[in-house]
Amino acid sequence: MIEFLSTYYPWLKIAHLIAVTAWMVGLLYLPRLYAYHAGVETGSGEDEIFKVMEYRLLLLLMNPAMLAVFVIGILLIVVTGAGGPGSGGWMHAKLVLTLIMGGLQGMLSRIRRTFARGENTRSAAFYRGLHWALIALLVAVVILAIRKPF
């Protein structure tokens, strides 16, 4: 199987990068939607529009993209042996940060349900801060993936 996957390594890498890009689009956009949503009146027309946008972003983009990132990422680890003995600790750090991103997506999903019930208690500033925290995670993962500093 590894030999088969090695033949398609460039395509796996391409698919992984596309999935990461799609996932990050959602991870960065959803907190911004929440920031705007936090400023509208519950039950208003705008509230309903935001609910639909948030639901579709999670269901149609973020969930499939995150699944693809993890599945293809695991295949790439198998093919390259990254994270194995003597390959450095950069992959372990990258995996931890990626798992944190997955956890944050879970948190964003729970927040969507609070908006859907009209029970949001957080401010727009909280969601803007979350947006910037996700950008910091993205920068760290990219540095680890490209520079492999340790």
For 42-56, the pLDDT digits (tens) are 999 999 999 999 999
Can you tell me the distance from the alpha carbon of 108 to that of 42, in angstroms, rounded to the nearest whole number? 19
pLDDT at res. 96:
97
**Which candidate, 77, 81, 64, places its Cα nearest to that of 13?**
77
**What is the pLDDT of the chain when averaged over all its residues?**
95
Q: What percent of the chain has pLDDT over 70?
A: 99
**Which candidate, 56, 55, 57, 39, places its Cα nearest to that of 47?**
39
**Which candidate, 52, 31, 49, places its Cα nearest to that of 104?**
31
Q: pLDDT digit string (tens) for 12-71?
A: 999 999 999 999 999 999 999 999 999 999 999 999 999 999 999 999 999 999 999 999
pLDDT at res. 101:
98
Average pLDDT over residues 134-148: 96
Judge whether 35 and 131 are in contact, CB under 8 Å: yes
Expressed as residue numbers, the domain containing 102 is: 2-147
Can you tell me the distance from the alpha carbon of 141 to that of 19, in angstroms, rounded to the nearest whole number? 14
pLDDT at res. 109:
98
Judge whether 115 and 34 are in contact, CB under 8 Å: yes
Number of structural domains the chain divides into: 1
pLDDT at res. 82:
87
| 91 pLDDT above the threshold of 80 | yes
Global pTM exceeds 0.85: yes
| 1 pLDDT above the threshold of 80 | no
